[in-house]
């Protein structure tokens, strides 16, 4: 069975983290085409150029924060699954992420590679339905 290529966007101002997450994704999900942005405006440009199926979004970044970008993306005609991935495991961050339209929430420092893969598998099963 041929898996459809999925466009994935990673938005995080930490380049090392972006590269690390990209490496995990392409190793375990070779059908993913992964693009990256280091800040909000770059994310919006990437969304316009390559409509993503899945977005990993940091909250705290220079310029527009991730919550603003999520709201903008969710107000368009495209509706990618969005996973907030942040260093801040605070209830107010979780609430704000889900209120902004995020579908999932991952804490960077507490998530192992296996946990990230599990979340992505769950998100992909949601895309298949």
pLDDT tens digit sequence for 77-107? 888 999 999 998 889 999 999 999 999 999 9
Confidence of residue 127 (pLDDT cuts 50, 70, 90): low
User: What is the pLDDT, as a whole number, of residue 97?
Assistant: 96
Burial of 99 (0-12, 13-18, 19+ CB in 10 A): exposed
Residue 75 DSSP symbol: T
- Which residue spans within the chain are E strands per DSSP? 6-11, 32-37, 54-57, 81-86, 104-107
Has this prediction a pTM greater than 0.75?
yes
User: What is the pLDDT, as a whole number, of residue 124?
Assistant: 79
User: What is the pLDDT, as a whole number, of residue 116?
Assistant: 87
User: What is the pLDDT, as a whole number, of residue 1?
Assistant: 39
Class of domain 6-128: alpha beta
Please compute the mean of the pLDDT values over residues 35-49 and round it to a whole number.
Answer: 91
Question: Residue 52: is its pLDDT beyond 50?
Answer: yes
Please compute the mean of the pLDDT values over residues 54-66 and round it to a whole number.
Answer: 91
């Amino acid at each position: 069975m041929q898996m459809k290529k999925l466009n994935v966007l990673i938005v995080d101002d930490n380049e090392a983290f972006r590269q690390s997450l990209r490496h995990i994704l392409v190793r375990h999900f070779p059908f993913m085409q992964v693009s990256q942005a280091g800040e909000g405006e770059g994310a919006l440009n990437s969304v316009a150029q390559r409509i993503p199926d899945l977005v990993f979004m940091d909250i705290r970044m220079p310029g527009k924060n991730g919550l603003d970008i999520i709201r903008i993306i969710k107000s368009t005609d495209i509706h990618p699954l969005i996973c907030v991935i942040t260093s801040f495991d605070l209830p107010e961050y979780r609430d704000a992420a889900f209120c902004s339209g995020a579908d999932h929430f991952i804490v960077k420092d507490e998530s192992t590679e296996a946990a990230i893969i599990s979340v992505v598998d769950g998100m992909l099963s949601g895309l298949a339905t």
